[in-house]
């Protein structure tokens, strides 16, 4: 009787230990892989509407940052507070399950890495193009809305400053900063499946770091730069050539090469590749 009780206690302790333990990398990989497969099965129209919603929602990153800038003193410590506003758009998009291009540099690449055929390449290209264009369309619409009387002069000036700061640096510097942004956003996606009650904090902390580091995010950063173009402060060629294109290239490198490919490699090296 005593022995049975000891065995039962040992089994209970083992179950509790497994419950409390962090999930294995292969488990996280499979969760994101399944999500990516689901996304690739969505119709193009559904992706486009969701991508448009995400582009519009990302505008609230500029609004959150602009409002905080307008109401805080311009001191050395103010960026530490101001960039919490940058997280606002990401919170809306991710918790609202809207399609954001930089998330898809991880989720839909994993199915492609497990099944490298022409069909998967075409499907990933379809999703990427649809989501990117609809994100940019939503971003443009929000930048147009930000030109209206909805925001007072102080906030409008803050929007201008955000856009001007996004354009600082060369094509190469924006690209490298884009690599870090894509890396951090893809890492955030990797962490979210098992973050549970910490999901909001994972989103806030990592996107706050993207904003604080002035890392180039192709959608969040495009909105204040489009704002400059709409106000005739810069040409559209500069908007795309100096920011959107290098940020896009950097985001893809950061998400695909530094997160998707490396995490795929670790799972395959661990002997789980044949189970996927």
pLDDT tens digits, 41-92: 999 999 999 999 999 999 999 999 999 999 999 999 999 999 999 999 999 9
Residue 62: count other Cβ atoms within 10 Å of its Cβ: 30
Would you give the DSSP letter of residue 228? H
- Residue 205 · residue 184 · CB < 8 Å: no
Residue 173 lies in a domain: yes
In-domain check, residue 244: yes
Query: Is residue 267 pLDDT above 80, yes or no?
Result: no
195-218 CB burial, b ≥16 within 10 A, e <16? eeeebeebbbebbbbbbeebbbbb
Mean pLDDT on 141-150: 95
Over 60: is that where the pLDDT of 10 sits?
Answer: no
Q: Domain for residue 135, yes or no?
A: yes
Whether residue 269 is contained in a domain is answered as yes
Q: How far apart are CA 99 and CA 254, in angstroms?
A: 18
Give percent helix, percent strand, percent coil of the chain, each to the nearest 5.
Answer: 80, 0, 20
- pLDDT band of residue 25 (cuts 50, 70, 90) is low
Q: Is residue 134 part of a domain?
A: yes
**How far is it, in rounded angstroms, from Cα 267 to Cα 85?**
36
- Position 2 in a domain: no
Q: If pLDDT is split at 50, 70 and 90, which confidence band does 29 have?
A: confident
Q: What does residue 207 show for φ and ψ, rounded to 5 degrees?
A: -75, -30
Asked if the structure places residue 5 within a domain, the reply is no
Whole-number pLDDT of residue 260: 74
pLDDT value of position 3: 60
Query: What is the CATH number for 142?
Result: 1.20.1080.10
Predicted TM-score (pTM) of this structure: 0.86
Helix H or strand E encompassing 90: helix 87-95
**What is the count of structural domains for the chain?**
1
Question: Per-residue confidence at 22, pLDDT binned at 50, 70, 90?
Answer: very low
Which residue would you say has higher pLDDT here, 127 or 109?
A: 127
Query: Nearest 5°: phi and psi at 228?
Result: -65, -40
Domain that holds residue 264: 24-275
Asked if residue 10 belongs to a domain, the reply is: no
Highest mean pLDDT out of 5-9, 94-98, 111-115, 234-238: 234-238
């Amino acid at each position: 009787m005593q022995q049975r009780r000891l065995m039962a206690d040992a089994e209970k302790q083992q179950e509790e230990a497994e419950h409390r333990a962090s999930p294995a990398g292969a488990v996280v990989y499979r969760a994101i892989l399944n999500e990516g497969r689901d996304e690739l099965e969505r119709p193009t129209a559904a992706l486009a509407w969701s991508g448009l919603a995400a582009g519009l929602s990302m505008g609230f990153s500029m609004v959150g940052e602009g409002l905080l800038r307008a109401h805080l003193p311009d001191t050395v410590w103010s960026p530490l507070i101001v960039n919490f506003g940058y997280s606002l758009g990401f919170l809306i998009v991710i918790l609202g399950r809207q399609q954001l291009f930089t998330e898809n540099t991880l989720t839909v690449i994993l199915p492609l890495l497990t099944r490298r055929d022409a069909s998967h390449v075409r499907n990933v290209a379809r999703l990427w193009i649809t989501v990117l264009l609809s994100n940019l369309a939503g971003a443009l619409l929000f930048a147009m809305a930000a030109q209206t009387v909805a925001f007072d002069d102080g906030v409008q000036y803050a929007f201008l400053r955000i856009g001007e700061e996004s354009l600082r640096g060369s094509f190469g510097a924006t690209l490298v900063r884009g690599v870090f942004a894509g890396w951090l956003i893809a890492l955030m996606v990797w962490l979210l499946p098992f973050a549970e009650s910490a999901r909001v904090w994972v989103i806030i902390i990592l996107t706050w770091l993207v904003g604080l580091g002035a890392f180039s995010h192709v959608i969040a950063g495009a909105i204040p730069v489009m704002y400059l173009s709409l106000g005739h402060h810069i040409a559209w060629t500069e908007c795309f050539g100096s920011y959107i294109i290098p940020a896009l290239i950097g985001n893809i490198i950061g998400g695909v090469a530094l997160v998707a490919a490396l995490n795929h490699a670790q799972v395959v090296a661990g002997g789980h590749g044949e189970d996927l």
